[in-house]
Chain A
């Protein structure tokens, strides 16, 4: 049928319809469509589907950006910035630095938090890299015992919220 079969035409119809196709292929498909009602009808369906393509909420991109940045905001002192990287690193370091000074219960909470993140994380992910860990380490060193205790309480909250 006009040098190209229906299967090949239908493979390309979405690209043809949206203009994502080379000129010469476009000409071949057009001439096929003139004599093939079936492919023509499929093209009409594709056009209908594209016309009805759902509108994307106008503010969605802003919402996503805000959500991503607020997911990292409270802990963004390290080179990597985001809390999602700082938190597990900080938790590990807190456990190491103040583990002796806090009750067994609290240490267990911290371990839980660390473990929780460990489950989510792929070992190859950057946020568990040595660099991220070091950044957390340096930051923790300058904290007073009181601040560390506050941090423990906060981590406990984070852990419970997950």
Chain B
């Protein structure tokens, strides 16, 4: 795979999408390598469980590959892929009867793993605590924050991702940030 990636940096996503549309699996492979991390973080932001997030990303890429002809280039491939993943994550949670728009209350429905001492020590770190707090926010707020901070998406792109306007994306982001600052005090 490393060989096939050599020189792939110069090829634009648009070009790769075009090649993948014509059945070029290698082109799609490069797209997977470029964007799977962003897609995974979106899935994790919504599902809040690593194993489910991995399944979601996998299914999202399979569906994206099938639906590549429907990608019109209105947004970047990355934003489109993140949106496909977000939809897949919501559908998966809905199927499992776990999807909910509520906030702090539904944190209690998360599966809790047995904490081990090492893990607890790591969690004491402030950054871990901040991420845990992020998980307690409503979905649109945590998705907006993750997309803005982890992925560097613009508010317009975040609007596409959460299915709202640019203004609403901004409100979700800042409302979430304000809430996090309160929680972290």
Contacts and interface: CB of A to CB of B under 8 A. Distances in A.
B152 A52 contact: no
28 contacts: A10-B174, A10-B177, A41-B181, A45-B181, A48-B126, A48-B130, A48-B184, A49-B131, A49-B180, A50-B127, A50-B150, A52-B125, A52-B130, A53-B41, A53-B131, A54-B44, A54-B50, A56-B37, A56-B41, A60-B54, A62-B1, A67-B58, A82-B65, A121-B66, A122-B69, A124-B70, A125-B66, A125-B69
In the complex, the 5 A-B pairs of residues with the closest C-beta atoms, listed nearest first: A126-B69, A52-B127, A51-B127, A52-B131, A81-B23
Nearest to A124: B70
Contacts of B68: 125-126
A152 B132 CA distance: 50
Contact of A68 (B32, B54, B129): B32
Q: Which of B57, B59, B184 has the most CB of A within 10 A?
A: B57
Interface in A40-69: 41-42, 45-46, 48-54, 56-57, 60-65, 67-69
Interface of B: 1, 21-23, 25, 28-29, 32-33, 36-37, 40-41, 44, 50, 54, 57-59, 61-62, 65-70, 125-131, 134, 145, 148-150, 152, 174, 177, 180-181, 184
Interface stretch (A12-20, A91-99, A101-109): A12-20
B23 A79 contact: yes
A31 to B, nearest CB: 22
A35 interface: no
Nearest to B51: A57
Contact of A15 (B29, B36, B152): B152
Contact of B149 (A50, A120, A122): A50
B152 A82 contact: no
Kindly name the residue among B36, B62, B149, B181 whose own CB sees the greatest number of chain A CB atoms within 10 A: B149
A61 B32 CA distance: 6
Nearest to B44: A54
B59 to A, nearest CB: 8
A149 B22 CA distance: 30
A61 B28 contact: no
Given A49-B127, A81-B25, A14 B152 contact: yes
Interface centre among B23, B70, B126, B145, by most chain A C-beta atoms within 10 angstroms, is: B23
A60 B184 CA distance: 32
B69 A82 contact: no
Contacts of A62: 1
A61 B36 contact: yes
B127 to A, nearest CB: 3
A82 B40 contact: no
